[in-house]
């Protein structure tokens, strides 16, 4: 009998394995908590040793301290996973003509190359099982663009394309691939942008939150990581066999404009 995400064996053991990148905090940690609570064994990947080890202890999973720009380290991660959540990301805010090339390249390696390598690594096992779930944490910036975020927007658009190609190739094997596209989520990555955005726009941090972060959302609040994790858990579950190649916005109607 094939087990799907969140389904435990009759003896209560965990039979589904998930791997989540960027799992030390924010969306990644929320996803790890949600999937573990559903019965999955979780592998948590992050560069933050203390954070990812705390998260692993909390969820009963395994911590992997990995720099996702290191291809050999990525290649050493577990391949026998049923659910892959590509979540790790970083941000840098600067005008295009001033954007550091090395930072642009690093963002692409973490947010595009690493997901490619992990999908490539995990697909054979998923194919052998006849079931698998790939959930890519994209962004509203995978569907829209904003000034001063050339690397992030380029990476998220690339991730959307990678996810769709994966969906087309993997469908016959019972594997789905989807993107989740949140607006601004209450995470450390967001707070890290406040001062940079304030300086770029000549605004206070409070004005950035109101005029930049929430300007295009019809719901005037930040998204909680747990709200994103709930959608991830649904996409990783047994009720979404026909849902693949999709981009699921959680953006307060931002993309309705």
Query: Over the stretch 97-125, which tens digit does the pLDDT of each residue have?
Result: 999 999 999 999 999 999 999 999 999 99
| Active-site hit among 41, 125, 152, 184 | 152
pTM: 0.91
Active site residue 152: yes
19-56: b or e for each residue (b if 16 or more CB lie within 10 Å)? bbbbbbbbbbbbbbbbbbebbbbbbbbbbbeebbbbbb
pLDDT in tens, 213-251: 889 999 999 999 999 999 999 999 999 999 999 999 999
Tell me which CATH homologous superfamily contains domain 17-185+224-247.
NAD(P)-binding Rossmann-like Domain (3.40.50.720)
Burial class (CB in 10 A: 0-12, 13-18, 19+), 194: middle
- Cα–Cα dist 83/229, whole Å: 13
- Which of 115, 105, 110 minimizes the C-alpha distance to 178? 115
Instruction: Beginning with the edge strand found earlier in the chain, give each strand of the sheet holding 40-46 in spatial order.
Output: 62-65, 40-46, 16-21, 83-86, 132-137, 175-182, 247-250
Q: CATH 3.40.50.720 region(s) of the chain? A: 17-185+224-247
């Amino acid at each position: 009998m094939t087990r799907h995400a969140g389904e435990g064996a009759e003896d209560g053991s965990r039979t589904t394995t998930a791997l989540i990148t960027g799992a030390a905090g924010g969306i990644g940690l929320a996803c790890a908590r949600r999937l573990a609570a559903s019965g999955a064994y979780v592998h948590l990947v992050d560069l933050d040793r203390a954070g990812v080890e705390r998260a692993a202890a909390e969820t009963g999973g395994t911590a992997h301290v990995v720099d996702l720009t290191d291809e050999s380290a990525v290649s050493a991660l577990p391949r026998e996973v049923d659910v892959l959540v590509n979540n790790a990301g970083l941000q840098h805010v600067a005008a295009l003509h001033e954007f550091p090339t090395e930072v642009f390249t690093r963002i692409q390696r973490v947010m595009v190359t690493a997901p490619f390598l992990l999908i490539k690594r995990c697909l054979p096992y998923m194919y052998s099982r006849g079931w698998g779930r790939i959930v890519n944490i994209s962004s509203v910036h995978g569907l829209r663009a904003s000034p001063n975020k050339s690397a992030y927007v380029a990476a998220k658009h690339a991730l959307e394309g990678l996810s769709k190609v994966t969906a087309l190739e993997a469908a016959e094997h019972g594997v789905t691939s989807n993107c989740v596209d949140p607006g601004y989520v209450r995470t450390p990555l967001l707070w890290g942008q406040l001062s940079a955005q304030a300086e770029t726009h000549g605004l206070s941090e409070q004005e950035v939150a109101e005029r930049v972060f929430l300007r295009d959302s019809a719901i005037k609040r930040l998204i909680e990581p747990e709200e994103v994790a709930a959608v991830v858990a649904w996409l990783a579950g047994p009720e979404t066999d026909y849902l693949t190649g999709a981009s699921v916005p959680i953006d307060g109607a931002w993309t309705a404009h």
